[in-house]
């Protein structure tokens, strides 16, 4: 395991910008990631293009895969970001767009997986968009694995992410009736007022006791200032810790009814990612603590976080999942995105040893065969 290699690989990937929304950029990035991975793993990946987005899959060894490593190579950073946020290492701090979320994690994953038969490494290209094209691929691979390890950046202090909230996304559209705002406003049905009623009702669906947040976000209504608006729409971001809460919020959203006479409401959208509940990570969390102890590393803290990742999908199909195993740093999506260089090797050693520990354990699956696998 070589820190110099990890840093060089990270730089190579960071310096190929890969905003999720640019298909050509994601394709270029996939080629760079494929080259780096082949250099470390000794085998080329499968290139899987879905809806124009390029994903990469390595399967190591001739037998069935037991451990799935998950990562993504797309970022939120627009083309040209390197001009203002170059990839640099100053002291023990690595900076650059996407270095923490999550290209350093990819470089670490290559080192952790190298030479370990029974591992599948899946690197997707649309995670920052909610994985619209890769979700089925992720879930399919997770169903074939005994454990999924996600190399997203760690929580503050290097904590592993043992819980992630599930995400549901909605649009609430209200329809009213247009009228002249000065001459005969009484003939209209004001969509802005109906929008306000609905937004207040939606906000009340949150539950602090269970950690559920239901947040009206972007909104618009009407087109001209002197017209009673006939239509409006607002978006809703819902975050939940349990499937039961996700189901409750979904049922409540679909039961919204208009307040103003003559208005109508239409709710679209729904659950985007299921929650990664603590039960999904508990056994792996115990195992990683035992591995850290054997390596002489400090105990690894864990944390529940509100953000979602592809680990939500692996947990959602019933595969034990542990997230936040990647780089230690911070500033994801922000100007201060960074990685702590002096924490890279120990975290990579931990992941590699955890993979080896999982592979050495007796299998608890009897249906893992390559027959019929894509």
Residues 6+ apart with CB under 8 A from 249: 168, 205, 212, 214, 238, 240
Buried b (16+ CB within 10 A) or exposed e, 128-167: beebebbbebbbebbebbbbbbbbbbbbeebbbbbbbbbb
| Tens digit of each residue's pLDDT (9 = 90 or more) over 17-32 | 999 999 999 999 999 9
Confidence (pLDDT) at 365: 60
Of 252, 273, 294, the last residue of a domain is 273
**For the domain that residue 330 is a member of, what is the CATH number?**
3.40.630.10
Contact between 188 and 263 under an 8 Å Cβ cutoff? The reply is no
Give the number of other CB atoms < 10 A from CB of residue 207.
15
Number of domains in the chain: 2
pLDDT value at position 63?
A: 82
Residue-number span of the structural domain to which 256 is assigned: 167-273
- What's the length of the chain? 374
Q: Which of 273, 295, 320 is the C-terminal boundary of a domain?
A: 273
CA atoms of 188 and 222, how far apart (whole Å)? 12
End of a domain among 247, 273, 299? 273
- 188 found inside a domain: yes
Low-confidence ranges of the chain (pLDDT < 70): 365-374
Q: In terms of domains, do 29 and 178 share one? A: no
CATH of the domain at 171: 3.30.70.360
pLDDT score for 307: 86
């Amino acid at each position: 395991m070589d820190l110099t290699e990890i840093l060089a690989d990270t730089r190579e990937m960071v310096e190929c910008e890969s905003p999720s929304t640019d298909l050509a950029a994601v394709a270029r990035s996939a080629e760079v990631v494929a080259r780096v991975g082949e250099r470390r793993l000794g085998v080329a990946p499968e290139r899987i293009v879905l809806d124009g987005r390029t994903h990469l899959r390595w399967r190591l060894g001739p037998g069935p895969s037991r451990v799935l490593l998950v990562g993504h190579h797309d970022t939120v950073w627009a083309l040209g970001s390197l001009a203002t946020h170059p990839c640099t290492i100053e002291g023990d701090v690595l900076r650059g767009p996407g270095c923490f979320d999550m290209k350093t994690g990819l470089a670490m994953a290559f080192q952790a997986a190298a030479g370990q038969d029974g591992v599948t490494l899946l690197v997707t290209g649309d995670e920052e968009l909610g994985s619209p094209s890769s979700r089925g691929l992720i879930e399919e691979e997770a169903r074939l694995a005994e454990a999924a390890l996600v190399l997203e950046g760690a929580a503050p202090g290097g904590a592993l992410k043992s819980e992630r909230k599930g995400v549901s996304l909605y649009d609430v559209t209200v329809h009213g009736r247009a009228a002249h705002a000065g001459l005969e406003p009484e003939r209209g049905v004001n969509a802005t007022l109906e929008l306000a009623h609905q937004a207040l009702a939606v906000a009340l669906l949150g539950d602090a006791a269970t950690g559920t947040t239901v947040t009206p976000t972007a909104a618009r209504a009407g087109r001209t200032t002197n017209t009673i608006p006939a239509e409006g729409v607002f978006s809703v971001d819902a975050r939940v810790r349990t499937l039961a809460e996700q189901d409750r919020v979904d049922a409540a959203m679909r039961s919204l009814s208009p307040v103003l006479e003559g208005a109508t409401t239409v709710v679209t959208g729904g659950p985007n990612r299921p929650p990664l509940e603590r039960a999904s990570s508990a056994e792996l969390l115990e195992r990683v603590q035992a591995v850290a102890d054997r390596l002489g590393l400090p105990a690894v803290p864990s944390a529940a976080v509100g953000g979602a990742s592809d680990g939500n999908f692996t947990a959602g199909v019933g595969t034990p999942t542990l997230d936040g195993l990647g780089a230690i740093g911070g500033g994801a999506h922000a100007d201060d995105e960074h990685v702590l260089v002096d924490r890279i090797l120990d975290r990579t050693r931990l992941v590699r040893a955890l993979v080896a520990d999982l592979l050495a354990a007796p299998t608890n699956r009897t249906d893992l065969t390559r027959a019929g696998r894509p």
